[in-house]
Amino acid sequence: MTSSSHTQDYIRRLSEELRLEVCELLPIPALKNLGLANKQWRKSSSSVLWKSLESSLVANDRNFDALILSLPDGLFDNVKNLKIRTLPDNFKNVMQVVSGITRDTLRTVELVGVQTEVWESLLCSQHSIEELTFRQNSYIQLSQRFPNPRSLAHSLKKLRKLKIASRRNDNDYSAWLVNTPALEVLSLGSGWGRDSRDATAVPLDIRTPAVGFVPLRLRRLSLFQLILLNGVNRLGDIIHLPSLKTLDIIHCDRVPVLLRYLTSKYTISSESALKSFNLTQDPEDEEELVESLNQFIGCFSGLETLFVATRDPQHVDVHKVCRHGQTLRFLHLDPLYRRMDLTLFNNRGYYSAGELEILTAGCPYIEELGIHAAAIDLSVIDLSLKFSKFNGRDLPRALDVLARLRSLRSLRLTHLLTVNDNNEVGDSNSNAWHHSKLASKVMQYLVERGSSIEVFAISPTATQYSDSAEQDFNGHTWPNYYYVRGTVTIPLRHRHLTQAQAIPVTEKNITDYVKYPSLLFRSEEKDFKAYA
């Protein structure tokens, strides 16, 4: 229970005795049972306390039996947000809760681990849902099907956000989509976690809607771990593509098929609202991926955010990126997106100074940049020397070019750095020293050339490289390091010298320096949390 003025206003509506119960008893973590015997208390508190219910409804959680038995006219009468993560054998308790919630009161629903019959019961009684997450897990053996189309027909008219995560190979997403005229945000995926050994993509199955169907004007479409084949050519029949503002394609198969389809649609369209495009691609067997990507981003203009992380060392054509030069503010290009491979990360695939020249000239308003910009090997670089003495001039050349981006506030180097000649992770505190030293040199070099850089990060897109990595004294864990711009004053004989300095900062404490959503922190791990 927070002490905000908004919350206090709500609490004042309760009787003095009930306020005591609420403020002193409810926050106790050990509390397992709660029941209000006084009917007047139950009724008055239901409109104040229970706007949201999140529970697993299992024995080691708080016991809600007393509340369930008091329905109707109990503490669930005004629940608007329902989130239950449970096991299939808890069917009875889940059905009791769902059946007892007052008709047409729910606004957001997320049920994980429940059988389809629970969904059908809920959808038949709730017609005002605005946000819904439908997730099917592989261990549900009794009922893995989608809800009956009849239960969807009149329940989703007000739905604005829909997330479907299903591991079946025969999903008909059209049954949902044809009944969601107000839908704005759609996320479709397999629901597999990153570490699952059985993880596999599922087909994107979209059937042709009936004659007279008005395509959905989505703002955002996210596709996660899907096979993009048969349903792709019907995507434009069910979604009004020119209205789409954000498109995410993450860990999907047959991506070139979708990109070529989108290219054909955007080429003949006179309008495009697309502002953000994210392609994160892990499979290695995608032929023509970068070629189809170049064709797509080159057939329209207006992007503000472009995030590309692939396992293909072939580079995105920077000339195509420059089609969006007048609007592009956030750019991330990582051609070495892969799991732990230290030898590959160090010295391959970086964007040359010539390519960076084209980017800076064609995209002068970039504020955040994530890129593999130079070959850096900390095991052979003497960090006590100036950049001019480094083994190779790749990094100084890249920074000379990037310093010309006068709007650049955040720079992220996306390649993996090791600090010893055996390509090993090494000691966490040794890593901290080497990375901080390099960060300060980069910061000083850019500032001396007129850059407005405020944040510098060394952080590959792919995550979980080593289970043995420990947090260092700066709060960083290899290979992710974040720094903000500070200053240091050095006393000399007759004067003082002030230099830019990289100040270590954790991701949690960096929010004052960057805009959100920020490219600095987007990674494989966060994508899985958002879409899996």
Residue 483 lies in a domain: yes
pLDDT mean over 379-405: 76
Q: Kindly report which listed range (3-12, 27-36, 436-445) carries the lowest average pLDDT score.
A: 3-12
Reported as a single tens digit per residue, the pLDDT across 399-420 is 999 999 999 999 999 877 765 5
- Read off the amino acid at residue 429: N
The answer to whether residue 364 is domain-embedded is: yes
Query: Domain range spanning residue 384?
Result: 355-525
Instruction: Give domain status of residue 514, yes or no.
Output: yes
* Residue 431, in any domain of the structure: yes
Q: Of 52-66, 229-243, 313-327, 481-495, which gets the smallest average pLDDT?
A: 52-66
Task: Tell whether 511 is covered by a domain.
Answer: yes
Structural domain includes residue 132: no
Q: How does the average pLDDT of the chain come out, rounded?
A: 80
What would the mean pLDDT of 12-21 be, rounded to a whole number?
Answer: 65
> Which of 426, 423, 443 is CA-nearest to residue 377?
423
- Give the highest mean pLDDT range of 71-75, 96-100, 455-459: 455-459
Task: Check the CA dihedral 175-179-185-191 and report its sign.
Answer: negative
Number of domains in the chain: 1
- pTM metric for this prediction: 0.85
18-22, 331-335, 415-419 — which one is most confidently predicted on average?
Answer: 331-335
Give 79's contacts (C-beta < 8 A, 6+ positions apart). Answer: 50, 51, 52, 53, 101, 102, 105, 106
In the prediction, which pLDDT does 226 show?
Answer: 87
What's the pLDDT tens digit per position in 154-196?
889 999 999 988 777 667 788 889 999 999 999 998 765 555 4
303 φ/ψ sector (left φ>0, alpha ψ -120 to 50, else beta): beta
Q: What is the largest CA-CA distance in the chain?
A: 85
Residue 494 lies in a domain: yes
Residue that has been written with the tokens 């995410």 in this structure:
248
| Domain contains 465 | yes
Confidence of residue 472 (pLDDT cuts 50, 70, 90): confident
Distance in Å from the first CA to the final CA of the chain: 30
Tell the burial category of 259 from Cβ atoms under 10 Å away from its Cβ (0-12, 13-18, 19+).
buried
Return the CA Rg of the chain.
27
